[in-house]
Structure 1
């Protein structure tokens, strides 16, 4: 016989029962299901967003692999500017040198094709006492159909405006912007005009306004590769 002191001890209120074990298993299963549901909810939206982004990325990548397809134009715009005093005498002048290669302005270009825009403001004669000039060109119309792939030179972008500061007697070098035409922009036109240019000159303790000597605009149209007849060819003549 076992003495009372040799019996295994049981904690009070902890008597085992089959129903309590089943409730514990159901609780553990419920917590596991809840954790799995939360994990699935956090993963699925990201996967869906990635799946939606893949076609656009694939389209851009395919366009980037296509050969250049441009029918070049010969339009150009080099606006001149000057300052004058109240008597009409010129205080100084300069020119904005602009060019593109291959030049789409006056021509047509297909999505996926690239071109470079070269921009260099040059003040040929400074007003006496001028401290610096800030040149700007708004490329919003071009950037509505093309992405900026690279920028080299002294110019910097703020939104769609390319600007550079010219401090006499130093001269600015060329700013070169590489554009790539975006897919899905066929039929749209990009325009660059003298009205897109602006210039602020700091003179002594005030700003003085310039006058644009010549006005005009140039444009290009985005066309399909098929309409340009260059499904597999390079730059057209």
Structure 2
């Protein structure tokens, strides 16, 4: 059972208009980003009452060019790649629903495209994994909105959630690593790329 986002036609059209306007305005400017090297890749596991591990996995995440740990100017784009993977499935686990809330990123950026198994519901990207089948990458293309200079977008382990269906009940997982990464939206002038592109 895949989770899907259903948006009424009028609402979808209203959402598309700002994004289209952003793309049209940004088309005049080249990309402007000072890449960072921060990443998160949360790890998770399940355990029984005795503390023994029942299974585990990783949320593979990457961005290109990577704004996290760096700065990016309005009008610039980056792709966010997301792939949950259960490396050892708990015995009896039927499926897992993975989610990541990208509200902070979407407060400064518009979603231009989404490809892969993941779907959006509001600001939450989700996908269902049914072992032993593996999920492919979900790739989201973002464009930074004009007027967001000085704002910071954050992605943390707390933005991730996971529901596992085990026989006739849901079981909870434990997140093994915690932390957060962020990027700042900066003006093109402050990045020194009024007429250039990606900075080293």
Judge same fold: TM > 0.5, yes or no: yes
Does residue 234 in structure 1 map to residue 197 in structure 2?
yes
Name the structure, 1 or 2, with higher relative contact order (CA <8 Å, separation 6+). 2
Task: Report what 1:39 is aligned to.
Answer: 2
- State the 4+ residue runs in structure 1 displaced beyond 6 angstroms: 38-59
Task: Give unmatched runs, 5+ long, in structure 1.
Answer: 1-37
Aligned partners of 1:96, 1:117: CA distance in 2, in Å? Answer: 13
Aligned partners of 1:206, 1:165: CA distance in 2, in Å? Answer: 16
Evaluate the alpha carbon distance shift between residue 201 and residue 44 of structure 1 in structure 2; reply closer, same or farther with a 3 A threshold.
closer
Per the TM alignment, residue 223 of structure 1 is displaced from its structure 2 partner at its CA by 0.2
CA deviation vs aligned residue, 1:94-127 (integer Å, no higher than 9, x gap):
0000000000000000000000000000000000
Per the TM alignment, residue 59 of structure 1 is displaced from its structure 2 partner at its CA by 6.6
Q: TM-score, normalised by structure 2?
A: 0.89
Aligned partners of 1:87, 1:62: CA distance in 2, in Å? Answer: 58
SS class of match (1:157):
strand
CA deviation vs aligned residue, 1:112-166 (integer Å, no higher than 9, x gap):
0000000000000000000000000000000000000000000000000000000
User: Larger C-alpha radius of gyration, 1 or 2?
Assistant: 1
Contact 2:45 2:55 in 1 (8 A): yes
Evaluate the alpha carbon distance shift between residue 206 and residue 188 of structure 1 in structure 2; reply closer, same or farther with a 3 A threshold.
same
- Relative to total residues, which structure has the larger helix share, 1 or 2? 1
Aligned partners of 2:178, 2:2: CA distance in 1, in Å? Answer: 62
Per the TM alignment, residue 54 of structure 1 is displaced from its structure 2 partner at its CA by 11
CA deviation vs aligned residue, 1:22-79 (integer Å, no higher than 9, x gap):
xxxxxxxxxxxxxxxx999999999999999999976752323210000000000000
Contact 2:3 2:127 in 1 (8 A): no
Does residue 201 in structure 1 map to residue 164 in structure 2?
yes
Q: Given the alignment, which residue of 117, 120, 139 partners 1:154?
A: 117
Task: Report what 2:175 is aligned to.
Answer: 212
Aligned partners of 1:49, 1:209: CA distance in 2, in Å? Answer: 34
Contact 1:136 1:163 in 2 (8 A): yes
Q: Which shows bigger deviation, 183-192 or 46-55?
A: 46-55
Aligned partners of 2:80, 2:4: CA distance in 1, in Å? Answer: 47
Q: Given the alignment, which residue of 134, 140, 146 partners 1:171?
A: 134
Contact 1:60 1:183 in 2 (8 A): no
Evaluate the alpha carbon distance shift between residue 47 and residue 118 of structure 1 in structure 2; reply closer, same or farther with a 3 A threshold.
closer
Per the TM alignment, residue 179 of structure 1 is displaced from its structure 2 partner at its CA by 0.1
Aligned partners of 2:165, 2:70: CA distance in 1, in Å? Answer: 38
Evaluate the alpha carbon distance shift between residue 58 and residue 87 of structure 1 in structure 2; reply closer, same or farther with a 3 A threshold.
closer
Evaluate the alpha carbon distance shift between residue 183 and residue 202 of structure 1 in structure 2; reply closer, same or farther with a 3 A threshold.
same
Contact 1:138 1:161 in 2 (8 A): yes
SS class of match (1:43):
coil
